[in-house]
Amino acid sequence: MGLSIVLRKVCWSGPDCIPTTAGVPFRVIHIAHFFIQEAVATNTIRLGSIIRGPTLPEAIEVLATVPMGESLKVIGRGLSTGLTHDPVLNPEQLSRLTVSADQLPFDGDSRLFRLGVEAYRLGLAYDYDPYFSLSIARVDPLPHQLEAVYDYFLRLPRIRFLLADDPGSGKTIMAGLLLKELKARGLVARTLIVAPANLTFQWQRELSDKFREKFDLIRGSVLRANYGQNPWQERDQVITSVSWVSVVEDARESLLRSHWDLIIVDEAHKMSAYADDRKTLAYRLGESLSQMTDHYLLMTATPHKGDPEHFRRFLALLDPDVYGSIQSLKQAMREHEAPFYLRRTKEALVSFPDPDTGTIHKLFTNREVRTAAFNMDGEELDFTMH
């Protein structure tokens, strides 16, 4: 519904008269204040109306109107951004506004309505389909991948987890399935992936190809191109290099001013601390990241270096309070009550049962570990002795 400007035309003779083509003098008096009062009185612009126009940054829901002489101040909330706007509009600008009708006309496109209902239905699909993300991903997961995501990750109200499967188990696929499930539940909007520099492009490609998730790479060139801004806060799905962001102070400081719903760290063993007073830059970054997110997933194939205290400090990245001592950690591992930790070797990974025979096949051949004895003599022995 458009707005029309109210004009009053008064004719008499005098110096202010304007002759028309017919030779009849008249003067045009623009009564804008009357127009504003009339517009508000007739509910043309009423509280709760949705107004749109070329002079407005976005569609606005009207919260209040204040006449200001020949103009009208409109106070409202933007429908897209939620920001408050209070433009002062003159009569010409008011005439170009489009105002929502008093009652909904119900004359919209039924196909778009059906599409909206279907989108809302899909938003609730995870309540009825326990493996919903599989239907919107381009992967054929293996049993151990489904076990990790649906039997471990998603059962935690707040995901703080160490996934320590052997190489080749498909940790990227497990991370992608977790991301899709959390997004379907509305629990995740902003995701950060921290990986070694040589794996960042692989992460970006696999998440795009297998899960249709677009991630931006942030590195030094992006930071320089966005000088004066914070690219970490402006992007919702980001991949970055642990060796870069933990060392470069500007990158680290700008990252720590952002907040994330889910943070995934690949090759997390690089975040090591040899002692409480000998923490690497990567470990300090891991501590900061742990405080910036609700859901924190660490992934590595080599979590334990033979030093229990070192392993305890590594797990402290997930929760520094739960396992604050070696004794509590050993007890949890001994009683198999470690809901934060999962490790499977290659020998334990199997396929789904064959639909005809029910046979299960191992995904990897067995490893045979043998100690081979050998003797050194001559120059070789002299070299090793000296």
- The answer to whether residues 60 and 50 touch, using CB atoms and an 8 Å cutoff, is yes
Residue 47 has pLDDT above 80, yes or no: yes
The answer, yes or no, to whether residue 358 has pLDDT greater than 80, is: yes
Rounded CA-CA distance 278/276 in Å is: 6
DSSP labels, 143-200? HHHHIIIIIIITT-SS-EEEE-PPTTS-HHHHHHHHHHHHHHTT--S-EEEEE-GGGH
- The angle at the Cα of 88, spanning 82 to 94, to the nearest 5 degrees, equals 95
Residue of 211 and 1 predicted with greater confidence:
211
Kindly tell me if the per-residue pLDDT of 154 is higher than 50: yes
Q: What is the pLDDT of residue 386?
A: 66
Res 43 pLDDT > 70: no
Q: What is the pLDDT of residue 18?
A: 40
pLDDT at 328 over 80: no
pLDDT at residue 15, rounded to an integer: 44
Q: Report the range of poorest mean pLDDT among 76-80, 112-116, 307-311.
A: 307-311
Counted residue by residue, the chain has a size of: 386
Q: Annotate 92-152 with DSSP letters as a single string.
A: HHHHT-EE--SS----S-HHHHHHHHHHHHHHTGGGT-TTGGGGGSS----HHHHIIIIII
- Reference 341, options 131, 160, 73; nearest CA is 160
* Nearest C-alpha neighbor of 49 from the set 64, 61, 59: 61
Residue 35 has pLDDT above 50, yes or no: no
> If pLDDT is split at 50, 70 and 90, which confidence band does 33 have?
very low
- Assign 20 a pLDDT band (cuts: 50, 70, 90): very low
Distance of alpha carbon 347 from alpha carbon 367, whole angstroms = 8
**Confidence band (pLDDT; 50, 70, 90) for 3?**
very low
Taking residues 335-363, report their average pLDDT: 85
Confidence of residue 337 (pLDDT cuts 50, 70, 90): low
Percent of the chain scoring above 70 in pLDDT? 87
Interval 294-317 mean pLDDT? 87
pLDDT of residue 323: 67
Rounded-to-integer distance, Cα 125 and Cα 121, Å: 6
Q: Among all chains, which residue has been given the structure tokens 């612009």?
A: 45
**Would you state the pLDDT for residue 324?**
65
160-210 pLDDT, tens digit per residue, is 999 999 999 999 999 999 999 999 888 999 999 999 999 999 999 999 999
What average pLDDT does the structure give for the chain?
Answer: 83
Q: Which residue has the higher pLDDT, 6 or 293?
A: 293
71 or 33: whose pLDDT is higher?
71
Question: Residue 87: its pLDDT value, please?
Answer: 93
pLDDT at 263 over 90: yes
Q: Is the pLDDT of residue 38 over 50?
A: no
Q: Nearest-CA neighbor of 206 among 223, 220, 193, 222?
A: 193
Instruction: Please say if the pLDDT value at position 381 is more than 80.
Output: no
**Model confidence over 270-293: pLDDT tens digits?**
898 888 888 899 999 999 999 999
pLDDT at 378 over 90: no
CB 30, CB 7: distance < 8 Å: yes
